[in-house]
Amino acid sequence: MSCEALPRPGFLRLRTRLIACGLLAALSLPGVAGAALGQDGSTIESDVARLQAQRHIAPMAAYTVHELQLAGGTRVREYLTASQQVFAVAWSGPHIPDLQQLLGSYFPRYQDAARALNRARRPVVLKDPDLVVQTGGHARAFYGVAYLPLMMPPGIDPSQIR
């Protein structure tokens, strides 16, 4: 192999930047509509089909949990009020699910909180009066929870969202 065949360091930086910009652009594109945080839960069926997931429904006293088991092993739980509004989502597993789809219109606020960490590999914690998002984990063991405190059914403790 000649020296001419080896990539130059400037080329590698440019290539890395182009890949990063492409990933950022892909994340900012609108996803297929699904049962996102704060929205009507009637679209969970599209989540099941789009994510090729197995679904289990667990009715509770004041809310219902739709648990989706994704093909890669990640579990997504969508919490719905009695009026079928998604007031919380939680996930755990080896892969991070499509957070843009799960967080819906709240995704930009999560993205801003993540960017504020200056690319540090730390958990994201966003606690506002109307939105709470907590993420964490490491390779093959990610987890997170997002909920809308103002939409939570009476008597529900945030620790029940997991």
Model pLDDT, residue 11: 44
∠57-62-66 over CA atoms, to 5°?
A: 20
Is the entire prediction scored with pTM above 0.95?
no
In a domain, residue 19? The reply is no
93 by DSSP, 3-state: which?
Answer: strand
* Distance in angstroms (rounded) separating the CA atoms of residues 88 and 85: 9
What is the span of the domain harbouring residue 127?
33-160
Model pLDDT, residue 5: 52
In a domain, residue 22? The reply is no
Model pLDDT, residue 49: 81
pLDDT along the chain (162 residues), means of 10: 50 42 36 68 80 89 93 94 95 94 95 85 92 94 97 93 92
What is the DSSP code string of 95-147? S---HHHHHGGGHHHHHHHHHTTTT-----EEE-SS-EEEEEEETTEEEEEEE
In a domain, residue 65? The reply is yes
Model pLDDT, residue 80: 96
**Nearest CA-CA partner of 59 in 33, 36, 41:** 41
Alpha carbons within 13 angstroms on the beta-carbon side of residue 93 total: 17
Per-residue H/E/C for 35-88: CCCCCEHHHHHHHHHHCCCEEEEEECCCEEEEEEECCCCCEEEEEEECCCEEEE
In a domain, residue 5? The reply is no
Per this entry, what is the length of the chain? 162
In a domain, residue 85? The reply is yes
Domain count within the chain: 1
In a domain, residue 26? The reply is no
